[in-house]
Amino acid sequence: LQQREDVVEARAVAAEDWKKQSDAAKYKLAWRPEIVPCPNQALRDLGVVDVSAHASKGELVCITFDEASGRVGCAPVSAAHAEAAVSLPYLACVLRVLRESRREPQFSLDPKDPHDLSGPFLLKRFYPEWLGGTVVGEVLFQADYALKQLCFGDLRLPGIPSVFDGESSGGRSPRSEPAAARQWFTMRRVGITVTADGALVPHVELGVEARRLTHGPNGYIDAAFTDPNDPTARQAAAVTARFPEVVAQLPVAAQLMQLARATVLAVYLLGRGCKLNVSLLDRYRIPGVPEGSEYSIQIPTLMKDRNQSIVGSNAVDAKGLEINVHRHSRSMRGGVDLAVPGDRKVPTRAVTARLLDPRTRPVPLPLFLPAPSHSAAA
């Protein structure tokens, strides 16, 4: 009898896996590395020919800032200093978001019906809305989706549990409704190191927050308290503690880190009073996903059931056996919030080390207006 129940459960898991594969193809639920914007193309689009020639040889690009003149520039940097490199397409997109929306990029994945977590679809919500269909928007969504796959055990990384680990039975009674929670990426700590030759090196620590959800009059909201031992909270803490490993093993997490670094740079430069070249920024074509206007803003609901059937001899029936079914069902919402902590005040640290090749001079970055000359200011 136990063997029969195990076969039934195995078939259910196989059917679930088949549906996931079908949905992944239909709704493009897997990260596509080929959509990452080409840095060399961005340099050419911005008219930075000199640095573009270096980038075509495999060198990276960093942002420079001259405190005395207020000039923002860019310069090639070797792979040995990859920590200083920045994605210019991501930087341009974030600058446009900050200019138009006065906020950093944000994303959430919400039930189509806010009162029904078990409904068939979730909606992608981008802030601002036009991020939907851009590569930056896709990075936000795919990073969040990968987090949910880790949460449900569909992706496995060493040292990171799923929310079902340790929930096999343990004497728990079957749940009458799904356990609902949300997990989202946040910026935990940020900073900028300024080298002696003006190179800006952004530092970002990303982490994951978790909250239990409870039903309110307008839909599901954060509960007043989330037990730190709740499986979603434990899993979020594990991802946060091992985030460098997550970045190393999940390409989309590495792209989210690049986007976060570009966000910190954008906030820092605007905070220093650097003026945007609005006409160029408006003309610059933000990289989009291949499907263009066919981009789907809804995906199948992220919900997972785990049933465990245990044949025991506690009941007194014709065969002296009973089947205890333990059902563990979880529903997950999520998102990404790239708001810079500390009221957008980015801590800075000056160092005496130099990062750029002495033979290289930074060139102006056209995303920003040239700093006024001292004679003009007078």
- 74 residue type, one letter: C
Closest CA to 236 of 254, 260, 211, 215: 211
In tens, the pLDDT along 52-103 reads 555 555 568 999 999 899 999 999 988 889 999 999 999 999 999 999 999 9
pLDDT (0 to 100) of residue 20: 75
325-335: average pLDDT: 65
DSSP 196-243: TT-EEEEEEEEEEEEEEEEEETTEEEE-S---TTSHHHHHHHHHHHTH
Task: Name the average pLDDT for the chain.
Answer: 85
User: Of 245 and 162, which is predicted with more confidence?
Assistant: 245
Task: List phi, psi (to 5°) of 207.
Answer: -150, 180
Nearest 5°: CA angle at 281, between 373 and 95? 90
**Residue 59 · residue 39 · CB < 8 Å:** no
What pLDDT score was predicted for residue 343?
84
Token look-up 């970002």 returns 204
* CA 236 – CA 255 distance, rounded (Å): 19
- What is the DSSP code (8-state) at residue 276? B
* Predicted model pTM: 0.87
- pLDDT confidence of residue 176: 45
* Cα angle for residues 82, 84, 88 (degrees, 5° grid): 100
For residue 306, give the 3-state DSSP assignment. strand
Asked if 319 and 242 count as a contact pair (C-beta separation under 8 A), the reply is no
